[in-house]
Amino acid sequence: MSARRVSRRSVLVTGAALAGWAAFSAQKLAFAADAAETGGATGAEWDAQPKVFQIGREEARARLVPYATESDALRGDFAKSPYFRSLNGTWRFHWSKNPDARPTGFEAPGYDDHGWDRIAVPSNWEIEGYQEPIYLNIQYPWTGYEKPEPPHVPHEFNPVGSYRRTFTVPGGWSGRRTLISFQGVKSAFFVWVNGKRVGYSEDSYTPAEFDITDHVHAGENSLAVEVYRWSDGSWLEDQDMIDLSGIFRDVYVYAIAPVHVQDLFVRTALDDAYRDATLTVTTTVRNRGGATAGAHSVEAVLHDARGRRVGSPLRGRATPGKGDAEVQLTADVRAPALWSAEQPNLYTLVVTLTDGRGRVVDIQRTTLGFREVAHGPGKFTVNGKPVMFRGTNRHETDPDHGQAIREDRMIQDIRLMKQHNINAVRTSHYPNHPRWLELCDEYGLYVIGETNLESHGVRDTVPASLPEWTGACVDRLRSLVERDKNHPSVIVWSLGNEAGQGSNFQTMADWVHARDSSRPVHYEGMNAVADLHSQMYTVPADVEAYGKSGSETPFILCEYAHAMGNSSGNLKEYWEVFERYPNLHGAFVWDWVDQAIRLPVPGDPRHNYLSYGGDWHPGYPTDANFCCNGLMAADRTPHPGLLELKKVYQPVGISAADLGAGTVTVRNKHLFSGLDAYELRWTVTCDGRTAQHGTLPPPKAAPGGDATVRIPWTKPRTPEPGAEYWLNLSFVLASDTSWAQAGHTVAGEQFALNWHTPAAADPDPDGLPALTLEESDSSVRVTGRQVDVVLDRATGTLSSYRWKGRLLLSGGPVPNFWRGPTDNDIGRGAQNTLRTWRDAGTKRTVTSVKAAQPSRGAVTIAVECTLPTAPNTSTWATEFTVRGDGEVRVRHTLKAADGLPDLPLVGALLTVPQGFERIDWYGRGPQENYWDRNSGAFVGRYRSTVDAQVAPYIRPEQTGNMTDVRTLSLTERSGAGLTVRADPAEGEPMLETGALHYSPFDLEGPRHPYELKRRDETLLGVNHRQTGVGGNDSWGAPPLDAYLLHAGRTYTYAYRLSPAQEAG
């Protein structure tokens, strides 16, 4: 660092900072006046007093805990500071049904709590077994008990948790001020220390700190906390999530010097070349002692990631007198390593405060990143580059701990995000645990920091423009901004979510613009007060319309691709649009993980399941599994859709240049990084089997640039007849990172190679072993040397298919047009509107069965059926050709009548007897995939089991589908079994298939996987096509039209059944 030079950019930053601080100071005075009006706590502040949201609470600031030495500060583990004591652990606890039933006088140090329970802090008391969680999306959680009008809250059922414990104040803290910090308590609470009430606070997701110096003494002290499940502040906390209560984040006490660093605000600005930086450190020094404080020295030392000092210390002087003094230190930093989500370079700033005698009185630290966010007409950039959010929303939720999120779960989340190419997260819809922000800084994620403000159920009236709610709204925003202002990962401030419109949002926007003009403001509910234009669940065509409009306001989707159950369709279409227009800056999936609670299976406590709304209090109003919208299950098992997201989010694009010459074009979508961290692996497959492979160094493509790469494959002189050749490319990590190991695939693509030699002609049926045709009134039987096929005339389907005496097929193909309704299907009412197709196959009427033997080695059986679709009847025809080599060729034709709804699928179900559990297929995989969700599933050969085809959806629904299937085999260990092949001779080169121990009808109805009744046999779906899964939303939007199966058309497809090749 060097002495500060004045530049255009730094003058702008400093000017904005001073304006912001002036607004901040004015706001503090307003809050102080509000607090004075209360006249002290009465104990009723939790109800119908929206102007009273805190009493005695410290004003919001950056999270600071003093250290004893500079080296301790550099290490950054404040839990090891001698001035810190955690109060996490086991507390005494009493649960009451309502405020009138709560124990009074429990705050007294001598109160007898031996009969009370014990509870872990942090935790949610519902998770610990006290009453039940509640899940409602829009309605307030108390709806099933009482229906108060704002700002009133329930009285008859409004549980109160009374907490007690003791804690020790070290003797070494004498002469210092002692503060207690609650990082998260839902939804409102009073605090007593040694029997004295010290404060009250609302806002569940930001810190509430109290100066308890006048109430503690060295040695043991008593602490009592009274937590209200619902308060008037709950009207501002109507987020779409499971409603839980209690002290769910860390609690600790710490000691500060009478004159200490009260707050730090660190800002960085970059020069026009984005090379050098200006560092501005605003330090607030506060005197909490009785005497007037003289001049104190402030020294700030910057350290790089290796702990080395950067430049010279910054020094200034502050004279706080009997209050606050502010000192601003500014310096130039030459060519710092910049922070971005790609390259999260961090520095540590250690600030030391010394008194007039040169004694160190306080040492504080903060991490920082040199980065600059610019926003305005026509731009939204990080370090000069237009940012593209490949994002997700994330609720804080854990199946075993509720909202008491542990660090290992946070790390698991962030590693999984990075592994799946997610570069941004929206803290929906409240400030997240402070450790999460530190991890985002360290691992590299862009963050939209969101205010704890949602009034969805009453958003037309609260907070709107009501002045009684203004203070609470601004306080919630201020608590977020002050806590998180030094995190480089936070690049957008959000005013809240689905809370309506009104002047209160203008007031909030004005406040944050004045306090921190370096970050844009977001609020989808009232874009007029924001710097970004934000929408939710806009379909790709309408997103493109905004792109084409040329609007200079940067556009994002703060929520899109509703990932409820089997969803995440048409992501590809979204990202083709996002990458086409410069005013589009990405989107955030709704959402990261299912919200669910792990419970024992009823009647079988040895096993557990993931529960959701309706499981905890039968009959209570609920929105069921609408809390389960995750890209992964609550236990962090990824859903198949996450792999599709990884594909469309990949930061390296690969396209064909001249495949005939072996060249491809690589586009580096990184903003700041080359491709040196990767190696390029290539494979050529022949019918899914590796034929050639190799590894290449990464191409030299600058950020945002292209490079041409030649793949050194060798074209075979004589390609195998009828074989497909594919080129698979993948960029993998060349070495370990903090979030993945070397070899992890970051990006990939697949190309069909035009190396085609016609397949050999099928043998003439006359040359095949002879067949015998036998007909009776009830059946048609075809037998040969090793094959035996029986068709039931009543059903028009095969009742048996044997090879060498072994039963390979015990039923089918039964026409099927139904799937276990997905959550998106149910959301648009498809289980009702498309219902004419549900039983159309099983209730068919066979109108004709005709058998013929055109040659000695072939028998044909033609079956015609009518389908009872309404209002018009459809028809289904199947032609079987049984051949002497054991092959059965099947051709289906559906004539879907006019005037009918779309079809869920067009296909047929075959019943395969027990024992054929291994599944091998050549098609897209390995994860399940669908017509509108298969770009991330490459064509290859895959092996699994039938049981493994059930994806981990929390509610049973359609699962296990594979697209573009050429062949599929169900076999036993020996390799004996059944093979299905698409029939290219009939113009149907590919199928969709699925093999399950459940029928589509089995998947319809049960609320949980444990309720499914597994069949011994396998139901094999051999289908022409299945409707896409969709996902634009889950409450009405169908899949895109390109992925629908319309009626009024004829659908024809064909396949071949044959014995699988046995091992040996």
Catalytic residues: 498, 559
Q: What are the distances in angstroms from CA 75 to CA 41, 78, 436?
A: 40, 9, 18
Cα separation values, 833 from 249, 450, 880, 894, 982, Å: 46, 39, 33, 20, 31
Peptide bond into 813 cis (omega under 30): yes
Any idea what DSSP says for residue 698? P
Torsion of CA 231, 232, 236, 239, to 10 degrees: 30
Angstrom CA distances, 301 to 332, 357, 486, stand at 13, 20, 16
User: Which amino acid makes up residue 1061?
Assistant: Q
Beta bridge pairs of residue 333: 277
CA distance 418 to 443: 8
Question: Quick check: 462 and 472 in contact, CB under 8 A?
Answer: no
Residue 1029's alpha-carbon distances to 566, 817, 931, 1021, in angstroms, are: 7, 15, 8, 17
Report d(CA 947, CA 437) in Å as an integer.
39
Considering only CA atoms, which of 361, 157, 144, 387 is closest in space to residue 256?
361
**How much is the CA Rg of the chain, to the nearest whole Å?**
33
State the angle between helix axes of 470-484 and 8-38 in degrees (0 to 180), rounded to the nearest 10.
130
Instruction: Give DSSP secondary structure letters for 296-318.
Output: EEEEEEEE-TTS-B-SSPEEEEE
**CA angle, 1004 then 1010 then 1014, to 5°:** 70
What's the angle, vertex CA 988, arms to CA 987 and CA 990, rounded to 5? 145
Q: What is the dihedral of CA 1028, 1032, 1037, 1040, to 10 degrees?
A: -40
Q: Tokens at residue 171, please? A: 């003797």
Q: How far apart are CA 841 and CA 826, in angstroms?
A: 21
* CA of residue 42 relative to chain centroid, distance: 42
DSSP reduced 3-state for 236: helix
CA 162, CA 93: separation in Å to the nearest integer?
A: 6
Can you list the alpha helix ranges (DSSP code H) found in 39-167? 70-75
3-class SS of residue 914: coil
Ordered alpha helix ranges (H), 157-260: none
Q: Decide: 129 and 159 in contact? Cβ < 8 Å.
A: no
CB 298 within 8 A of CB 279: no
